[in-house]
Amino acid sequence: MNNGLPRSQTAFALVITLALVALLVLALLALSILVRFSSQISATVTYQTQARQNALLGLSVALGDLQRLAGPNARATGMAGIAGETPASQFRQWCGVWDASGTFLGWLTSGALMLDTPSLGTLPVIQLVEAKSVGPKPLSLTAYADEEYVDAGKVPLSVPDASGNFLVVGNYAYWVGDEGCKVSSTVPSRFSFTGAVTISAPSTPLNIARMTIAFQQFDSENAKKIVSFEQAPNLAYAAGKNLTAANLHDSFHHVTLSHLSVPAAGAQLEGGKVNVNTTSVPVWRALFESYNNAPGAAKFSTAGRLTSAVNTVATGTGKPAKGPFTSIAAFGTYLASVLPSAGPPTGVSVMGVLSPMLTVRSDTFRIRAYGDATNPASDPANPTIESTAYCEAIVQRTPDPAPDGLGRKFVIVYFRWLGPDDV
């Protein structure tokens, strides 16, 4: 059949038609790929958002527990080491709260059982402080190299499906660290204080000592511009030598940028006090060397007496075996038992210098929170985690009253999202 067109034109029209069909197929293929990728990106963003929301939920739960337990004035706080947790325990850095009589109120960690000995139930365990925060685990754990990784329990979040069954859609976890159980790298001049303990001890570990030099001596002017502990590597401890990650790792559980205390009266926060409910060796060294630096002090002649004080603080007199010191006077009783009156120095002489610098409760805390989002279509017994998120906040107790009669109000003064290299 001839349509009146030359054969060459008919062939050309067929080629054009096939080319157009091929282009249309390619366009449809590209569109389907684009739709699929857009769907995957949308799902990823949704999971990331859910993970962050779950992390923020963990932060909110932690802040609520902190307000409820530690908001009132008549509270004592401390690290679990003071309750007898050994250097090898991954609960050692948990923060506990007790009332004025020494009655245990709770551990500020997700999944913690209501026991005066730190313990997790059957929840899955996640580490909220590990190598990127405190460095690799030491080969052996001693009084100078405690277990500094921190375990918490992952709390599941579930929603009902159409059949009334509950599907796990994510988890959250949190840990509250006691910043007052550390010594301050700086004591801001804008805060008044009757005495201040800083990391000025020359016998502290090298990396912590370099923090001292950077903050207080070599780079003190730039130190005033630092707003977070993690910014410390911007400081130099010698000409051309900046602080490193190792300095921060060794200092994480022992040094704070500045712990601020709520005074008994007045609205101005106090800086430089140390919570004595700690078993951190660098903190104890800073305490006793702050005493040694006091004018006219009868100095510690040997490290042996300091070692004795550190080794027996968790089980010593003046406090319950699994509890904290609930008053500075009780801490003085303990010092009198390990520093006999035959001295020097005596417990009385040490307390005469240090007591204005000490406290038995903290008002500054570090919260780490975790959240993840799981695929509800995955195996309920082993759900697939699609996204995770970590965040951290520094929380400060203020002189302002909290709602519902929960003591003084806590507020978040610093917040950041953590990346894989921060945990």
pLDDT tens for 373-398 read 998 877 777 888 999 999 999 999 99
C-alpha distances in Å from residue 268, one per residue of 260, 262, 265, 387:
10, 8, 9, 42
C-alpha distances in Å from residue 4, one per residue of 129, 192, 369:
83, 103, 79
The pLDDT assigned to 191 comes to 45
Determine the Cα–Cα distance for residues 363 and 356; give it in Å rounded to an integer.
16
Find tokens 């925060």 and name the residue. 133
Determine the Cα–Cα distance for residues 227 and 7; give it in Å rounded to an integer.
82
Determine the Cα–Cα distance for residues 15 and 258; give it in Å rounded to an integer.
78
Determine the Cα–Cα distance for residues 311 and 410; give it in Å rounded to an integer.
33
pLDDT over 90 (residue 205): no
Q: What is the mean pLDDT of residues 209-225?
A: 78
Determine the Cα–Cα distance for residues 132 and 421; give it in Å rounded to an integer.
6
Tokens, residue 360: 């038995």
pLDDT over 60 (residue 221): yes
pLDDT over 90 (residue 65): yes
C-alpha distances in Å from residue 325, one per residue of 82, 197, 278:
9, 19, 10
In this predicted model, what pLDDT tens digit does every residue of 113-160 receive, in sequence order?
Answer: 999 899 998 999 999 999 999 988 776 666 556 678 999 999 999 877
Which residue(s) pair with 412 in the sheet?
Answer: 395
Question: pTM score > 0.75 for this model?
Answer: yes
Determine the Cα–Cα distance for residues 345 and 94; give it in Å rounded to an integer.
32
